Amino acid sequence: MNTKNNLVLNGRFLTRSMTGVDRVASELAVALTQISPETDMHLALPSAPVHAPETTPEEILNLDKLGQSRHSGHLWEQVELPRLLESDQWLLSLCNTGPVMRSRQAVMIHDAQVFTQPASYSRAFRSLYRVLLPTLARRSRVLLTVSDFSRLELEKHGVFPEGKARVIHNGVDHLAEISPDTEALARHGLEPGGYFLAIGSLAPHKNLRLLASAAQARDKGSLPLIVAGGGNSTVFKDDGLVEHEGLRFLGRVSDNELKALYNDAYALLFPSLTEGFGLPPLEAMSCGCPVLATTGGAVPEVCGDAALFVDPRQQQDWTDAMLRIEAEPNLRTDLAGKGRERAAMFTWKRAAEQLLTALDEAS
pTM attached to this predicted model:
0.92
Taking the CA atoms of residue 291, residue 225, residue 114 and residue 252 in that order, the dihedral angle to the nearest 10 degrees is -110
The H-or-E segment that residue 249 falls in is: strand 247-251
Cα–Cα nearest to 302, from 331, 339, 333, 332: 339
The three-point CA angle 361-141-128 to 5° equals 150
Domain covering 3-171+347-362: architecture: 3-Layer(aba) Sandwich (3.40)
Which class in CATH covers the domain with range 176-343?
A: alpha beta
The confidence score (pLDDT) of residue 339 equals 98
Q: How far is it, in rounded angstroms, from Cα 271 to Cα 275?
A: 10
Delimiting residues of CATH 3.40.50.2000 domain(s) in the chain: 3-171+347-362, 176-343
Distance from C-alpha of 66 to C-alpha of 11, rounded to nearest angstrom: 11
Give φ, ψ of 313 to 5 degrees: -105, 0
Under-50 pLDDT residues of the chain: 1
